[in-house]
């Protein structure tokens, strides 16, 4: 495979990553606004990570020299998402309040609720947001998407011409 073909393949992978993240956030918004699944700070933090991944992947797809670094950064962001999804399930879902957790501090510091309240407004406590879809905790669906995104990102970051 020549360098041009490899770059085109990395571009497609990055566009796929961006699309998957955007669809993941869209699914969360449908769950929130159509099925009244209110998000906690950890849910919102994961949404934010998906948005950042989508932006990084799109930048990488549009700028050929940035493809591999974008893949590496997306892999790191996916690892952060994996950590947040696991933390949400293991710790946060068992707590009544999410106040002053790492997720709450990040959301507050970045002023996400005031920038885009329809997307980033926290409307539930961690215990209230502990819901399942098809008998699988919602955060595990997010975890699965982060794992797929991370694997695809590693493919982009490590793929040589």
- Encode pLDDT of 82-97 as tens digits: 999 999 888 866 666 6
* pTM attached to this predicted model: 0.93
Identify the band that residue 99 occupies on the pLDDT scale cut at 50, 70 and 90: low
- Under CATH, which number does the domain 3-158 receive? 1.20.1550
Residue found under tokens 């998906």? 50
Burial of 134 (0-12, 13-18, 19+ CB in 10 A): exposed
Would you kindly state where each structural domain of the chain is located, as residue ranges? 3-158
Distance separating alpha carbons of residues 154 and 36, to the nearest angstrom = 35
pLDDT in tens, 44-82: 999 999 999 999 999 999 999 999 999 999 999 999 999
Which residues, 6+ apart, have CB-to-CB distance to 61 below 8 Å? 11, 14, 15, 18, 67, 70
For residue 31, CA distances in Å to 6, 25, 35, 93, 119 come to 37, 10, 5, 18, 12
Tokens at 114, concatenated: 């005031």
Residue 153 has pLDDT above 90, yes or no: yes
Residue 157 has pLDDT above 80, yes or no: yes
Which residues, 6+ apart, have CB-to-CB distance to 117 below 8 Å? none
């Amino acid at each position: 495979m020549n360098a041009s073909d490899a770059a085109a393949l990395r571009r497609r992978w990055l566009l796929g990553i961006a699309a998957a993240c955007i669809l993941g956030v869209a699914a969360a918004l449908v769950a929130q606004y159509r099925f009244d699944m209110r998000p906690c700070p950890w849910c919102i933090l994961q949404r934010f990570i998906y948005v950042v991944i989508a932006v990084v992947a799109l930048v990488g797809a549009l700028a050929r020299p940035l493809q591999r670094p974008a893949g590496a950064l997306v892999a790191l962001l996916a690892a952060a998402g994996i950590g947040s999804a696991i933390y949400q399930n293991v710790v946060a879902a068992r707590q009544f309040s999410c106040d002053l957790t790492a997720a709450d501090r990040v959301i507050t510091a970045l002023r996400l609720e005031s920038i885009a309240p329809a997307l980033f407004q926290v409307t539930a406590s961690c215990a209230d947001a502990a819901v399942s879809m098809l008998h699988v905790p919602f955060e595990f669906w997010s975890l699965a998407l982060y794992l797929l995104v991370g694997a695809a990102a590693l493919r982009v970051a490590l793929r040589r011409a």
